[in-house]
Structure 1
């Protein structure tokens, strides 16, 4: 089945729209004309297609778990691993009370769809998948709290302990809008959990992290801990995770360069940051942003089928 189209435009800020012109298929579009969707605005010629739809739940599940494996391999390739730490969860498309997670102790760069474990979000019950390894208990407590709090718009959660993310988290501060790209986290899209309750072995800490993320957060800086992102697809959450980690690295470099006070920082204005957010931080656009890295991982693995290994043996069970 062909990918679905974007239902509505993400560009609605009239003050910004009147100020700017957007290129749509090679021509300039002003505020008086029909507003382009983000993918229409960025596409010159054939419009990019966004999040796909599927005729069966099985096909949807396969797509999600194969792309989940690709995002794990992308995180491994970019140095986002630390022993057994880090996890991604994806809500099952057929049974929304279930989520898929990676097994404890298997390297991100080795994961395929057949490695994933299915857990019941409400209870932690192992509900299928590959049960040869355990799930990560701390990961379950964090991810389940977020999935329970945001059932409608969060279908994937990424968390890992990266170098830049942990370094910036020590300040317990949000990122500044220093670049065009970090505007994906403008305003309440980026939360800061400015507490540290130790390794998450209790439900309370997971609930506090979910509470800090709030109703609209796309990412969170967890003080003295690491980074976390969410999305409607694992592709969106994965792209945002890489972006958040790189943005922490950029902020650290800018802070170091500006430390002597002789080089002033130039922060993007609220108006411009809001415009960038509306045009870029939309589920279909963010899904497309992830596809170059996903396709690269397919190529490096020897084809998409390599990341689908073991999928046919997976089956979630409901009580």
Structure 2
């Protein structure tokens, strides 16, 4: 799919090389989107995708490189020991501990997104989930985990496993006093779920600050989740953002 075509069906690939290139293009665009939305905070935050051929390895942004400057050629491939096996940059313990634990626990997950977005951080400090106050928030109805304590920066395998256990089979997890993490069967879906979860946190904080928001009842929240919470919907909602980012910043494809 080129930047100018409109194909609203997830792609298929003739070779693993084509699929690898596709995933890396989506990953670079996702990092640029995170920068444009203000989700970057120093060296905190990372998005990854499994390699389509070597599923025990994943592509991820290098530590210390601004999201706004990342190109496809800057991405690094990390193996299951935390070693960089492709690329010219470095990683560190936190992204490896988090992403490797999720991939070990979730065989179907092909991408993971985590960053220290401001509204996700704020809601995470309150000890509450994303509530079904809006239609969009229903995508996370009964489909979110909660890591209910904070024990410091995730730097080892045990902490990564606790995070993965809290995520369970959900599309996202709130890490108390920390922020948000989302997963998907594509980079597109994982990135969109993070954006949507962050926006739902923002809407919830605004509504609760303004008054007493009306919660969507469980029957309608569950119905709306079936309509808006599937992998295809996550993939689909990412497509306009990808097209916009490639149009505005085509150097990300380098």
TM range (shorter): over 0.9
Provide the C-alpha distance between the structure 2 equivalents of 1:226 and 1:50, rounded to a whole number of angstroms.
31
Question: Relative to structure 2, which stretch is displaced further, 268-277 or 223-232?
Answer: 268-277
Check conservation: 2:19, 2:52, Cα contact below 8 A. yes
Give the SS at the match of 1:229: strand
Check conservation: 2:132, 2:215, Cα contact below 8 A. yes
CA RMSD for the aligned pairs?
1.6
User: What are the within-5 Å matches in structure 2 for residues 302-313 of structure 1?
Assistant: 303=250, 306-309=251-254
Aligned to 2:18: 59
| CA-CA distance at 1:265 after TM superposition | 2.2
Provide the C-alpha distance between the structure 2 equivalents of 1:177 and 1:166, rounded to a whole number of angstroms.
18
Structure 1 residue 166 corresponds to structure 2 residue 125: no
The partner residue of 1:283 within 198, 211, 231 is 231
Give the SS at the match of 1:227: strand
Aligned to 1:43: none
User: What are the within-5 Å matches in structure 2 for residues 16-55 of structure 1?
Assistant: 49-55=8-14
Structure 1 residue 68 corresponds to structure 2 residue 37: no
> Could you list the runs of 5+ residues in structure 1 that have no partner in the other structure?
2-46, 259-263, 310-319
The partner residue of 1:103 within 48, 51, 62 is 62
User: What are the within-5 Å matches in structure 2 for residues 120-131 of structure 1?
Assistant: 120-121=79-80, 123-128=81-86, 130-131=87-88
User: What are the within-5 Å matches in structure 2 for residues 145-184 of structure 1?
Assistant: 145-151=101-107, 153-184=108-139
Check conservation: 1:73, 1:109, Cα contact below 8 A. yes
| CA-CA distance at 1:285 after TM superposition | 2.0
Residue-by-residue CA offset, 1:209-252 (whole Å, 9 max, x unaligned)? 000001x2101111111110000001100011011111111111
Give the SS at the match of 2:30: helix
| CA-CA distance at 1:157 after TM superposition | 0.2
Provide the C-alpha distance between the structure 2 equivalents of 1:296 and 1:49, rounded to a whole number of angstroms.
15
Check conservation: 2:84, 2:90, Cα contact below 8 A. no
TM-score (norm 1): 0.76
Provide the C-alpha distance between the structure 2 equivalents of 1:266 and 1:50, rounded to a whole number of angstroms.
36
Structure 1 residue 271 corresponds to structure 2 residue 227: no
TM-score (norm 2): 0.95
Aligned to 1:40: none
Query: Runs of at least 4 residues of structure 1 off by over 4 A?
Result: none
Check conservation: 1:172, 1:221, Cα contact below 8 A. no
Give the SS at the match of 2:47: strand
Aligned to 1:251: 204
Larger radius of gyration: 1
Aligned to 2:167: 213
Give the SS at the match of 2:223: helix
Give the SS at the match of 2:126: coil
Provide the C-alpha distance between the structure 2 equivalents of 1:283 and 1:168, rounded to a whole number of angstroms.
25
Structure 1 residue 86 corresponds to structure 2 residue 45: yes
